[in-house]
Structure 1
Amino acid sequence: MENEFKKVMSERTDQELIKIVTVERERYNPTAIEAADLEIEKRNIDTAEFEKIKEKATVDKEQKQKVDSNVVGSGTRFINFLIDFFVWLVLASLIIFIIGLFVPVITENQGILTLLVYILFFGSFIGYYAIMEIKFQKTVGKFVTKTKVVTMNGEKPENGEIIARTFCRLIPFDRLSFLVVKNGIHDFLSKTKVVKDTAE
């Protein structure tokens, strides 16, 4: 009887095959491993390349496990949210107050004034999270709870990833997603995590 995994393994890249028969071996059943071994033999993959890919995959796996073991729970995330919400509210109120001193309040322009207040509120929200996390990998809340934002493999996120993360916070029900999973919607979409800051 022909191995049912033969076709599947023939479609995998060399790197994927090597990962399957080495660092991910325990995740596959023996028949799949046999098909992967046969495909590796058939392709005559260089053993030097094999060792290099195996080594990199092992390091990546260990790094991911280390990051996953440091991911903080919903309680810490909620504390971060409360602190950051308060800080942002104070910041937004100060900005609106200062701008209000320079912009005359004319009753006929209530619509424009309301629009300006909304722009300042959202602008300060985006600015607070984006600037803090780009510069420090943390907000005031994360400083207090000794946590920080990292990529899936534990590295410092790129500016674009932080900006995407910040805008994803505006998605309705994003805050509620932490009641169900450790990584909420804005983490999932920006491929980031919040972990304990072991450097502190």
Structure 2
Amino acid sequence: MRIVGDGTRALNFFIDTLLVFLLAYAGFKTWNFYVMYWGYPAYNFGWFFFGILFVYYTFFELVFGRTPAKWFTYSKVVTAKGSRPALWQILVRSLVRLTIVDMFFIPFFGKPLHDKLSGTVLIEI
């Protein structure tokens, strides 16, 4: 098992964030159409972004073990023993990603907080 470096993590972050932003923006604009013409309640863009962020990471890591960015960089999420993560580990990873302090733990733990709390690692395949 070869653990990925910080450059791969940064590339994964930028690609996945771009995809999440595009999905959230499309959902936000679609919802605002219904707000304007059908009287639906209005929501801030942040609700769409963070909601889609949680669903995006949970779905892709639960079903495939990696997100589209991880496919691009040939990396995969596994447990410390190298097996597929459990549902609770994926949910913890997705929830902790919603916090703004997640990435600031890399200097202390050598990996982000979502990896530390869920007991997972990101490896090259």
- Asked if Structure 1 and Structure 2 have the same fold, meaning a TM-score greater than 0.5 normalized by the shorter chain, the answer is yes
Q: CA RMSD in A?
A: 2.0
CA displacement at 1:158 relative to structure 2: 1.0
Greater relative contact order (Cα 8 A, min sep 6): structure 1 or 2? 2
In structure 2, distance between residues paired with 1:182 and 1:72 = 11
Q: Which residue of 2 aligns with 1:132?
A: 60
1:154 corresponds to: 82
Which structure has the bigger radius of gyration? Answer: 1
Tell me which residue corresponds to 1:94. 26
Whether the aligned pair in 2 keeps the contact of 1:73 and 1:182 (CA below 8 Å) is no
1:105–1:113 contact (8 Å) kept in structure 2: no
Deviation at 1:105, TM superposition (A): 7.0
Aligned to 1:195, the other structure's residue is in SS state strand
Corresponding residue for 1:177? 105
Among candidates 39, 42, 48, match of residue 113 of structure 1: 42
Structure 2's unaligned 5+ residue stretches are none
Q: 1:133 to 1:170 in 2, by over 3 A?
A: same
- TM-score of the superposed pair, with normalisation by structure 1: 0.57
Residue 116 of structure 2 corresponds to 188
Give the Å deviation of 1:151.
0.5
Give identity over the alignment, percent: 31
1:167 aligns with 2:99: no
Deviations 1:133-177 (A, max 9, x none): 111111111011000100110001111210111101123321233
More helix by share: 1
Q: Deviations over 1:2-44 (max 9, x none)?
A: xxxxxxxxxxxxxxxxxxxxxxxxxxxxxxxxxxxxxxxxxxx
- Partner residue in 1 for 2:35: 103
- 2:14 is matched with 82
Question: Can you give the 5+ residue segments of structure 1 that lack an aligned partner in the other structure?
Answer: 1-66
